[in-house]
Amino acid sequence: MKRRPKPIKLLVIHVIMIILSIIIIYPILWMLFASFKPMTEIFSSASLLPKHWTLEHYTAGWQGVGGYTFTTFFRNSLILSVLVVIGSLFISTLTGFAFARLKFKLRSLLFMFMLMTMMLPMQITLIPQYIIFHKLGWVNTFLPLVVPSFVGVSITPFFIFLMVQFVRGLPKELDEAATIDGCNTLQLFLRIILPLSKPALITVSIFAFYWTWDDFFSQLIYLNNPDKFTVSTGLNMFLDNSGNSQWGDLFAMSILSILPVIILFLFLQKHFVKGIATTGMKG
C-alpha cells in the first residue's frame, strides 16, 4: 500500500521542488564558478560566470602543504570520519537503548548530566581535555579525535539523545513479545531494537561522518604534523591574516571537499525505508 500522488499533483510537487532547489543551491554556484576564475577576476569582476576559465586552482590547491597533497588530507579525513561513525553507532545504540528501555538507579540524573555536557561550549572543556590527552601521550595522533566518540564524549551525546527519542517511539509490545519468546535483554537489543532502528542509524552515520569531516577546531588543536592533516586543517592553510590569502585554491578545494559527503549521503538516503515492524504490525 504505497501512497502515490496523481500525475497533476506530481507535476506541482516537481515544480515546487525545482524552484526551491534553485533558491537553495544558488549561493553555492557563486563559489563553484569563483573556483574557475583566475585570482585577478574573483573579486574585481561582478559577473557570476568566469571570463577566462581556469583549472589552476584545482591543480595548485591539490598540491597541499609541506610536501603532503590533498590526497593525504582526504585519506586522513576519511579514516577519521569512518572511525567516528563506528564509534558513534556503537555508543549511541548501547547507551540510547539503556536510557530508553531499561530501568535503573540514577537514570534521570545521568541522562540530565549527559544533556548538560552539551550545554558547555567546547571552547571551555577543550583545555582540560587537552591536558588529559597530552598526559596520555595522545597529542598528534588520531586518538583524541576518535576515542571520545567510542565512550560517548564530544559530539556523541547528540546521537545518544537521538537514539533515545527514536527507541522510545518503537512499540513496546515488541519487547513483551520478545521476552515471552525467551529473549534476554542483549538479544532484545540485537534482534529487535537494532534492526528496527535503521533510519536512526543512517541518520547517526551521516551526521557523525559529516561533523567529523567538517570539524576544524579539535583537529587543529590535536594534529600537528602535515602527514596527519585533514581536509579542514588543509583548507585553513589557504588563508592569511595579512590578506595574502589564496582564495581561488580555497574555493576549489572547498568544492572538492563536499563531494565525498554528498556521495555518501546520496548512497545512504536510499536506505531511508520503513522498519519491518512499523509497516505491518500494528493496526
Partner 1 sequence: MKRLTTLIVSALSVALILSACGSKGTSSSSNGGNIQLMWWGTQDRTNMTTKVIKQFEKANKEIKVTPQFTGWDGYWSKLSTQTGGGNIPDVIQMDKQYLRNYVKRGTLMDLSKTNIDLSVYDKSSLNTGKVDGKLYAIPTGVNALALFYDPSMLKKAGVSIDPNKPMSWDEYASLAETITKKLPNTYGTQNFAGSIDDLELYARSKGEEFFSEDAKSLKISKSTLTDWFNYWLKLQDEGATPPAEYTASLTDGDIEKSPIVKKDAPFGMFWSNQFGTMEQLANRKLKLALPPGGNENKPYFLKPSMYWSIAKKTKSKKASEKLVSYLLNSKDAVKVMGTDRGVSINSSVREAQQNNANDTDKEVISYVNNVTKLAGSALPVDPTSANNIIDLLTTTAQEVLFKKVTPEKATDQFFTKATSLLKKG
Partner 2 sequence: MMRAMRQSLAAYGFLFPWLIGLLVLTLGSFMFSIYLAFTNYDLISSPTWAGVSNFKSLFSDHLFYTSLKVTLLYVVVSVPLRLIFSLLVAALLNQEIAGIGIYRVIFYIPSLIGTSVGVAIMWQNIFSRNGLFNLILQSIGMAHPPAWVSDPQYAIYVLVLLSIWQFGSEMIIFLAGLKQIPDSLYEAAAIDGANRLNQFFHVTLPMLTPMIFFNLVMGTINAFMVFTQGFVITHGGPINSTMFYVLYLYKQGFEYFHMGYAAAMSIVLLVIVGVFAGFLFLTSKFWVHYEGEEGGK
CA 150 – CA 271 distance, rounded (Å): 24
Rounded CA Rg of the chain: 23
Binding of partner 2 by 180 (CB under 8 A): no
Residues 34-73 that bind partner 2 (CB under 8 A): 34
44 binds, among partner 2, partner 1, none (CB under 5 to 8 A by kind): partner 1
Binding of partner 1 by 115 (CB under 8 A): no
| DSSP state letter for 52 | S
By rule CB under 8 A, what string of x and - marks binding of each residue 214-233 to partner 1?
Answer: --xx--xx--xxx------x
Q: Could you tell me how many residues of this chain bind partner 2 (CB under 8 A)?
A: 103
Binding of partner 1 by 59 (CB under 8 A): no
Instruction: Give the alpha-carbon dihedral of 253, 254, 256, 262, to 10 degrees.
Output: 170
Binding of partner 1 by 143 (CB under 8 A): no
Binding of partner 1 by 242 (CB under 8 A): yes
Among 2, 103, 135, 282, binds partner 1 (CB under 8 A): 135
Containing H/E element for 57?
Answer: helix 56-62
Stretch that binds partner 1, among 159-167, 182-190, 203-211, 239-247 (CB under 8 A): 239-247
- On the CB side of 172, how many CA atoms lie within 13 Å of its CA? 4
Stretch that binds partner 2, among 22-30, 54-62, 65-73, 76-84 (CB under 8 A): 22-30
Stretch that binds partner 1, among 23-31, 135-143, 156-164, 199-207 (CB under 8 A): 135-143
Question: How many helices and strands (H and E) does the chain possess?
Answer: 16, 0
Binding of partner 2 by 110 (CB under 8 A): yes
Sequence letter at residue 37: K
Contact present, 220 and 29 (Cβ < 8 Å): no
Binding of partner 2 by 148 (CB under 8 A): yes
DSSP string, 93-132: HHHHHHHHH---TTHHHHHHHHHHHTTS-HHHHHHHHHHH
